[in-house]
Amino acid sequence: MKLKVKLVDILTGYKVVLLNKSDAMNFGVRPHDRIKIKTAQKDLTAIVNITDSYVEQGEIGITPTMKEIFNFQIGDTVEIVATSIPLSMEYIHKKMAGKSLNQKEIYTIIKDIVEGNLSELEIAAFVLEQQFLGMNTDEIEYLTRSMVETGEKIDFDEPAFDKHSIGGVPGNKVSLLIVPIVAAAGLLIPKTSSKAITSPSGTADTMEVLAPVSFNAEELKGIVKKTRGAIIWGGSLNLAPADDLIIQVEHPLRIDPTSQMIASIIAKKHSVGIDNMVLDIPVGAGTKMETMEEAEKFANLFVEIAKRLKITTYCAFTYAGQPVGHAVGPALEAKEALEALMGGGPTSLFEKATGLAGLLLELGGVAQENRGQEYAKEILRSGKALKKMREIIEAQGGDPNIKPEDIPIGEHVASLEAKADGYVTQVNNRSITKIAQAAGAPRDKGAGVVLHHKIGYKVSRGDTLLNIYAEKESKLHEATAIATRTMPIIVEGMLLQKYPKFGGKI
C-alpha cells in the first residue's frame, strides 16, 4: 500500500504513525500493530495508531520527531508493508514464564526497543516483569551492557568522576553544589542526569531552570574542557538510548524496578566515560530504601555490577526521613541551591552536599581519607564553588549572573497551617512528592512546595507549615486537596495521650 506523508503535530510515542481507519482495515492492521515503511533511504519499522480524523484515506501521519530523525518530506509517497512480530517478544514471554534470559536474548530486547520495534505496551510488559519477577545478577549485567552497546560512548582521556542518587527523597538538589565543588578542586565531573521519573524534580529538571541541559557529545566535551564540570540531561547524548525510552514507560506507571534502576545508572555512567563514582542511597520512610537492610542489599548488588563494568563505586547511605532542605520543585530547588552556593541555604543541604562531595575528593586523591568533607566545606565557604557554578552556567548557555530572586516561581500560592501548638514530629516524603507533582512539578518549572517547619521545629497554632506554588490555579486546587487529605506534616504536643480517660477509674 502506498500512502502520502502528512505531518501530524501531536505528541506520541517514538516511531508511532497514524493511519486512517479505512486504510488500516483494508491493510489488516489494528492499533499497536507494526508496519514497515519503505523509503528511498532505508526501511523502518513503526507502531500503528488509528484515526478517522487526523489523516485522510491515502495518507500516513508522521510526527515532527519522526520527520526530523528520518528526514521525511511532506507530500512524499511511501510504501507500507506487513512485518512480523519481533523475536524479542518471544523472549519477553519467556521472562513472563519466570525463566532467566541470556545475554543474546536481553540484547535483542534492548536493540528492538532502541530501533522502535516494540510498542510502549510491550516495553511496559518488560518493565513490569522486572518489577514483579526481578532479575538475577547476570541478567542485570547483560541488561547494562546491552544498553551501553546500543548507544554512543564518550571518552575524556582522563579519569572522570560522578555522583548519582537513586532518588526517593524530595528536594535532593545536592548535585548543583557537588559538581562545582568537585570541579573547583580540579577533578573532571561531567554530570549527566535523567529527568524526573517518580520525583517532583530530577537534577536535569532543576539545572534547566539555570541553563540549557540538552547537548551532544562534542558539545559536552567542549563544556567540560572549559570548566571541568557540567550538569546536563543524558537523554540528549544518545548514551544508552534504551534507558530514556524505558523511562517514558516507567513514568506513567510510577515504578522504577531495582534491576532497571541499576542498569540505567551504570550504563549511562559507563557510556559517558565515568571511572569513579559515589552513589547516594537515601534511607528512610517514604523512600525507595526504607530500611538499612534494603539499602545494604541494593548497594552490594550495585557495586558488583559496577565492578563488572570497571567503575570504582562507593555507596553513601544518607538520612532521608524528610526532604533535603526546604524547597521541592525545579525553580524552588534551583533558588535554594544558588542561595547555598552564595553562603546561605539550609544546614541539611550544606551538610549532605559537602559530605558526598568530600567522598569524591577523597576518591580522586585531592583530599586525605576522612578529610574530604572539611575540604569541600572550605571550597564552598570560600566562594570558589559559586564562581565555578557561574562558569558552568555560562558555558551551558545560561546567565552567569543570575540571582535567586531572578528565578520565577508559580504565581498561585496556598498555605497549610498548624492546627495546634506543638512540635513537628513527622514529615511525609510521599505526601510532599504527591503535592508537588499535583501542583505541576516537574513539567511546570515554577510549581512545588516550600516547607517552613521540619522535624523538631516548635510551632504555634496558625503558623504556616508549608506553601504550595503552582503555575495554574486548577493544579493548585488539586495539590491543596491532596495536602488537606494526606497530612504531610504532623504536629503533636508534648502530651501525647491521657490514661485513663476522664470518667475512668484510677
User: Catalytic site residues?
Assistant: 256
Q: Are 69 and 102 in contact (CB under 8 A)?
A: no
**Which residues, 6 or more positions from 504, have their beta carbon under 8 angstroms from its beta carbon?**
none
DSSP bridge pairs for 276: 161, 312
d(CA 407, CA 402): 8
Q: Which three cell numbers stand for residue 207?
A: 539545572
Dihedral sign computed on CA atoms, order 280, 282, 283, 289: negative
Question: Would you give the distance in Å from CA 136 to the centre of its chain?
Answer: 24
Dihedral sign computed on CA atoms, order 94, 99, 104, 106: positive
Question: Would you give the distance in Å from CA 499 to the centre of its chain?
Answer: 48
Helix intervals (H) in 185-312:
203-207, 217-227, 241-253, 258-271, 292-308
Q: Are 329 and 469 in contact (CB under 8 A)?
A: yes
3-state secondary structure of 28: coil
Of 458, 451, 411, residue with least CA distance to 431: 451
d(CA 178, CA 189): 9
Is the backbone peptide bond immediately before 500 cis, with ω within 30 degrees of 0?
A: yes
Q: Which amino acid appears at position 267 of this protein?
A: A
